[in-house]
């Protein structure tokens, strides 16, 4: 009886995972941060300088996720309003990221 139980236990088929179709920009090669997911993280308190008596500003962290490479970029945003989000220049973020990538490539060459 025990051998039958063991035999049936080891004969079971392993379940197969079904996956949905991924979007084209997740599968194909592209320049980093051409397809971006944006989310807000937590709220932080920032000072303009370390001197005494400085006003503390409440700011949020915007998280930019590259859909092709899964790289992230964190930027400070003034608040969670739509106006602050629209005022934030995404093109400036892309330029800064490209500069960092080029600096890393040049440092590897030297």
Express each pLDDT in 55-84 by its tens digit: 888 888 888 888 888 888 888 887 777 777
Pick the more confident residue, 7 or 40: 40
Alpha-carbon gap, residue 4 to 51, rounded angstroms = 78
What burial letters (b/e) apply to 17-31, b meaning 16+ CB within 10 Å? eeeeeeeeeeeeeee
110: pLDDT strictly greater than 70: no
Q: Give the pLDDT band (50/70/90) at residue 18.
A: confident
Structure tokens at 32: 């980093």
Express each pLDDT in 78-100 by its tens digit: 777 777 776 766 666 667 777 77
Q: Give the pLDDT band (50/70/90) at residue 17.
A: confident
| Share of the chain residues as helix, strand and coil, in percent rounded to the nearest 5 | 35, 25, 35
């Amino acid at each position: 009886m025990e051998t039958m139980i063991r035999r049936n236990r080891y004969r079971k088929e392993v379940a197969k995972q079904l996956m949905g179709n991924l979007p084209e920009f997740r599968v194909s090669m592209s320049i980093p941060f051409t397809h971006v997911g944006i989310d807000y993280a937590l709220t932080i308190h920032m000072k303009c300088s370390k001197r005494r008596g400085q006003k503390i500003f409440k700011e949020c962290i915007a998280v930019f996720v590259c859909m092709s490479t899964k790289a992230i970029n964190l930027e400070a945003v003034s608040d969670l309003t739509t106006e602050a989000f629209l005022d934030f220049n995404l093109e400036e973020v892309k330029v800064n990221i490209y500069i960092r990538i080029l600096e890393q490539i040049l440092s590897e060459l030297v």
